[in-house]
Amino acid sequence: MASRDIGATQLTPPRGTIDYPPPSLAALSRVLGALENVLEHAGYPAVRTPMFERFGLLAMRAGDAIRHSMFTFTSERVEYALRPEMTTPIGRMVASGLLTGPLPRRVRYAAPCFRYERPGSRRQREFTQVGAELFDSLAPWGDVEMIILASECARAVDGDRIHLRVGDIRVFGSQLAGLNAEARGVAANLLNDALAVEARCAGLREVERVDDALATWLRDLAAGVFRLQQRVGSPTDETIALPSAYTPDTVAALARELPRASRDATRLALVSMAGLDEVVASRLVHGTTIQGTIGEVAEAGRSLFGDSAAEALESLQQVCALADAAGARNVEASLGVARGLEFYTGTVFAVVVPEAPGAPVVGGGGRYDHLIEELGGPSTPAVGFAVEVEQILALLGHEMERPEPATVVVVAAEPSAWVRAAELSGRLRAAGLRAPLPQPHSPTTADGPAIVVASEGPYRLMLRGETSEAADFIALLTQLRAVCETEAPE
Amino acid sequence: MSDETIRLALPKGSLQKDTTRFLAGGGIVAEGYEDGRDYRPKVDIPWLEVKVLRPQEIPMYVSQGYYDAGITGLDWILETRSGDEAEVMLDCNYGRVDIVTAVPDSWEHVNSFDDLMNLPDEVRISTEYINLTQDAVLRTTGVEPTVLTPWYSVRRHRYSNVVLILSFGATEGKPPEDAEAVVDNTATGSTLRANHLKIIGHVLSGSTARLVANRGSLHDPAKAELLDQLAAMLEQSAALPAGEASASLGTHLV
């Protein structure tokens, strides 16, 4: 076979995926570790499920946003998809009776998931979800547990920038009760899109710098609103005009303009495409903008939706009050959190970074009491949440990129000393220290402490560059001495 | 000369008559090929074995090495993405067709592929050329369309308003009820016009019949010698030297 010119395109990872060299992976692992540590200490043991599942299972309760983003393939006449999320696979485990033990059952996961994203999207097509699921726990206690855990996870990776916005899906759901399944799906899509525009534009009004990724992302957002305007026949003088250049000023102008245009077009579309009454459509669209303290939101919700949403608003108040009393931080209420209208059944929340450009949603969760039964298992109230590690990492920037240094470097002074140096490094590793095997031709200096080993004679300790704090260093020296004084095994 | 033979696949269908003439111009008589009565025509060249296959199938057979060479349209070489393993040796310069996008001729507001892609509602495109059309949509919109075939499906309704539906023929009859547009081959455009369709863009211009060879066979010295000999014989038959007749992917998409 002739040799091939592989070409530059073959050397880049597939679109929407990332290679992680050691410092980047160390950063990712730190975030993963911090999140998993919170969940481990809260009594959530880890589970693992297959990387791919039957498409029908994953699509059963997924909204269009997930159903239409799966990577599918067929083998032995069965259509499969790479998992786009972890709740359904874990739900399958529960429905099949594999998850046993005392109630309520708690599990956590840290797993790669896969979704098609438009080119230029800030989300990766391969991303890592860390999350928790709690089964057989009733509202409001399970809901509050998830909010507290999500809050603790946010604190574990970042001080104050990550916030939780809590809503109740039944507020909007009660307004769609009269629709058939198809119309309800159309309305859910329209509202989810409108909510995304509201949330994202809220974070774009004071952008300091516009990079290509942000411009592409905003162009997509605006194009979506434009298409909706075209579909519902919005007047020409009201249609969105895309800027010729994306600067902080034009982005701010677009961020002001888009929500208004989106609200108008969504209201018309809810009537013409989903068959909603005009008054109800207007209320729903107004509802997407309501957020603040739980008191403000409950009052605004009652005045907008009246008795039809009273129960949901009462539940939302109770959940928020308990979470606040239990110390959950940065929790706000929002009727505009209505993610997963087809999936969730009560409390829903989004994990957001309100101050970052585009106010990215880095995670979310909520109550889904019907899933396990619909998968064929017993009726099982359930609640869960997940965050996306890559999105959190993007927020934290390079802060987490600290290489993991060797605790101690063993240097072979000459090639003939290699066996002796290698044997010492093995004893150091066995003692729990990070000590790479020596390379005879590597430099004879190291940033941290190094032990120089000659063919014979005593080991020499070499100190260069920065060292640990004194207390750590003394402990290290004590360990080193203990290991070095140990006779090599015969 | 060794005992090596070359297995050559010839196209069945619309290219058959011109291929017979093209082979004859190179001194090759394939007995029973033109009238379609024999799938294994006899040829009077001892090192050449011939079999008749559908032009859609030939690139795959050649790229897999089941045949050393074949004559088929450039459209199917590109559609089957066989270019990595099947190398074009000669532009035979006949069977010229364009692969075009067409919409109902009453659509005054849609006059380009861009116009079609920017329609606010769902755009269903019926086509036998799923891959070429998918490439064109991707290059224009940057977003993967939904693709519906019996063998695989891609669901992207949420991201793209374009839906490609595999056509098993009679493509030009699909609009307006069952598709908003077609991507189809045409030599003169008359069939499209007769079905009240207008051409709004070219996905591939100037596709002609090509002699393709398996790359593995070309790296086998004995086979390569015979393939070169075959190409030399047929080159005399092509009205123009290889490569001079141009075909290009729709420039409006680049």
Summarize pLDDT for A278-325 with one digit per residue, the tens. 999 999 999 988 989 999 999 999 999 999 899 999 999 999 999 999
Contacts of B142 in chain A (CB under 8 A): 118-120
CB contact under 8 A, A74 and B152: yes
* Closest approach of B218 to chain A, Cα-based (Å): 10
Query: CB A68 to CB B157 under 8 A?
Result: yes
CB-nearest partner of A119 from B142, B161, B216: B142
pLDDT at B250: 44
Rg of the Cα trace of chain A? 27
pLDDT at A71 over 90: yes
In chain A, which residues touch B (CB < 8 A)? 1-2, 64-65, 67-70, 72-74, 79, 116, 118-120, 189, 227-228, 230-231
Q: Do A119 and B151 touch (CB under 8 A)?
A: no
- With contacts defined as CB-CB under 8 Å, which chain A residues touch B137? none
* DSSP SS3 for A55: helix
- Contact (CB<8Å) B153/A116: no
Instruction: Reply yes or no on whether the pLDDT at A395 is more than 90.
Output: no
A79 vs chain B: nearest CA distance in angstroms? Answer: 9
Q: Is A231 close to B155, i.e. CB distance below 8 A?
A: no
Pick from B177, B148, B174, B144: which is nearest to B161 by CA?
B144
pLDDT at A144 over 80: yes
Q: Within an 8 Å CB–CB cutoff, is residue B154 touching chain A?
A: yes
CATH of domain B6-95+208-247: 3.40.190.10
- Which percentage of chain A shows pLDDT scores above 70? 91
- d(CA A475, CA A425) in angstroms, rounded, equals 18
> Reduced to 3 DSSP states, what percent helix, strand and coil does chain A have, rounded to the nearest 5?
45, 15, 40
Could you identify the residue written with the tokens 């640990």? A468
**Coil, helix or strand for B62?**
helix
B 87-126 residues with CB below 8 A of A? 120-121
* Neighboring chain A residues of B158 at a CB cutoff of 8 Å: 64-65, 67-69, 189
Domain ranges for chain A: 22-164+333-399, 409-485
Residues written for chain A: 490
Q: Are B165 and B179 in contact (CB under 8 A)?
A: yes
Question: Which H, E and C letters describe A314-354, residue by residue?
Answer: HHHHHHHHHHHHCCCCCEEEECCCCCCCCCCCCEEEEEECC
- CATH domain B97-206 topology: D-Maltodextrin-Binding Protein; domain 2 (3.40.190)
Residues from chain B that touch A116, judged by Cβ atoms under 8 A, are 144, 156, 159
Residue B158 to residue A119, Cβ atoms within 8 A = no
CA distance B125 to chain A (A): 19
Question: Distance from A227 to chain B by nearest Cα, in Å?
Answer: 5
pLDDT of A43 higher than 90: yes
Q: A149 pLDDT exceeds 90?
A: yes
Q: Does residue B142 sit at the A interface (CB-CB below 8 Å)?
A: yes
Best A3, A6, A116 member to test B by mutation, with max B CBs in 10 Å, is A116
Across A407-421, A448-462, B164-178, which has the greatest mean pLDDT? B164-178
**Is the per-residue pLDDT at A4 higher than 60?**
no
pLDDT tens, residue by residue, B94-115 = 999 999 999 999 999 999 999 9
Tell me whether the CATH fold assigned to B6-95+208-247 matches the one assigned to B97-206.
Answer: yes
The amino acid present at B4, given as its one-letter code, is: E
CB contact under 8 A, A68 and B216: no
Cα A403 from chain centroid? 23
Q: How far is B213 from chain A (nearest CA, A)?
A: 15
Give the mean pLDDT of A214-218.
79
Residue A483, helix vs strand vs coil: helix
Q: For residue A291, what are its two tokens?
A: 């957020």
Q: At what angle do helices A181-202 and A278-287 cross, to 10 degrees?
A: 40
Question: In chain A, what residues touch B161 (CB-CB under 8 Å)?
Answer: 227
How many angstroms away from the CA of B42 is the closest CA of chain A? 32
B158 closest CB neighbour out of A69, A73, A79: A69
Least confident of A245-249, B176-180, B181-185: A245-249
pLDDT range class, residue B247, cuts 50, 70, 90:
very low
* Chain B residues whose beta carbon lies within 8 Å of the beta carbon of residue A72: 152-155
Question: How many Å lie between the alpha carbon of B203 and the closest alpha carbon of chain A?
Answer: 22
CB-based burial, B120-140: b 16+ in 10 Å, e otherwise: eeebbbbbbbbebbbbbbbeb
Question: Is the pLDDT assigned to residue A1 strictly greater than 60?
Answer: no
How many whole angstroms separate alpha carbon B202 and alpha carbon B136? 10
How far apart (Å, rounded) are the C-alpha atoms in residues A185 and A64? 8
Torsion-angle region of B32 (φ positive above 0: left; ψ -120 to 50: alpha; else: beta): left
B154 contacts A227? CB cut-off 8 A: no
Q: Are B101 and B200 in contact (CB under 8 A)?
A: yes
User: Which residue in chain B has the smallest CA separation from A118?
Assistant: B143
And the tokens for A31? 């975030």
Contacts of B215 in chain A (CB under 8 A): 2
What is the least distance, in Å, from the CA of B138 to any CA of chain A? 10
- pLDDT band (50, 70, 90) for residue B8: very high
Buried b (16+ CB within 10 A) or exposed e, A379-391: ebbbbbbbbbbbb
Please, what is the average pLDDT of chain B? 91
Candidates A64, A119, A228; nearest CB to B157: A64
User: Per-domain residue ranges for chain B?
Assistant: 6-95+208-247, 97-206
3-state secondary structure of A400: helix
Ranking A233-247, A261-275, A439-453, B42-56 by mean pLDDT, the lowest is: A439-453
What would the two tokens of residue A66 be?
């997930």
Chain B residue with CA closest to A79: the answer is: B152
Mean pLDDT of the A232-247 span: 82
Q: Looking at the partner chain, which of A2, A68, A79 has a beta carbon nearest the beta carbon of B159? A: A68
**Chain centroid offset of residue A362 CA:** 4
- Chain B CB contacts of A56 under 8 Å are none
Write out chain B residues lying below 8 Å of A1, CB-based: 216, 219
Closest CA to A269 of A258, A284, A257: A284
- Contact list in A for residue B155 (CB cut-off 8 A) is 67-68, 70, 72
Angle among Cα A211, A153, A368 to the nearest 5 degrees reads: 95
Cβ A2–B152 below 8 Å, yes or no?
Answer: no
Tell me the per-residue pLDDT of B179-192, one tens digit each, with 9 for 90 and over: 999 999 999 999 99
Query: For residue A237, is pLDDT > 90?
Result: no
With a cut of 50, say whether residue B240 has pLDDT above it. Answer: no
ipTM for the predicted complex: 0.73
Q: What is the pLDDT of residue B80?
A: 96
Q: For A23-42, give one letter per residue: b (16+ CB within 10 A) or e.
A: eeeebbebbbebbbebbeeb
Tell whether B221 lies on the interface with A, counting CB pairs under 8 A.
no
A and B: number of Cβ contacts within 8 A: 43
* Whether the Cβ atoms of residue B55 and residue B67 lie closer than 8 Å to each other: no
Q: How far is B112 from chain A (nearest CA, A)?
A: 18
pLDDT digits over A72-100, tens only? Answer: 999 888 999 999 999 999 999 999 999 88
Write out pLDDT tens, residues A160-170: 889 999 999 99
Strand order across the beta sheet in which A72-75 lies: A52-54, A78-82, A72-75
Query: pLDDT (tens digit, 9 = 90+) per residue, B212-233?
Result: 999 999 999 999 999 999 999 9
Greater confidence, A159 or A135? A135
**Ranked by mean pLDDT, which of A75-84, A175-184, B241-250 comes out on top?**
A75-84
Sequence-separated contacts (24+) of B172-180 with Cβ below 8 Å:
B172/B102, B172/B197, B174/B126, B175/B102, B175/B103, B175/B104, B175/B126, B176/B104, B178/B124, B178/B126, B179/B124, B179/B125, B179/B126, B180/B103, B180/B116, B180/B119, B180/B122, B180/B123, B180/B124, B180/B125
Q: How far is Cα B134 from Cα B140, in angstroms, rounded to an integer?
A: 10
CATH class of the domain defined by A22-164+333-399: alpha beta
Q: What is the Cβ-side half-sphere exposure of residue A226, based on CA atoms within 13 angstroms?
A: 13
What secondary structure letter does DSSP report for A397?
G
Q: What percent of chain A has pLDDT over 90?
A: 48
Judge: A227–B161 Cβ closer than 8 Å, yes or no.
yes
Contact A227 B120 (CB under 8 A): yes
List the single best residue of B158, B218, B219, B223 to mutate versus A (max A Cβ within 10 A): B158
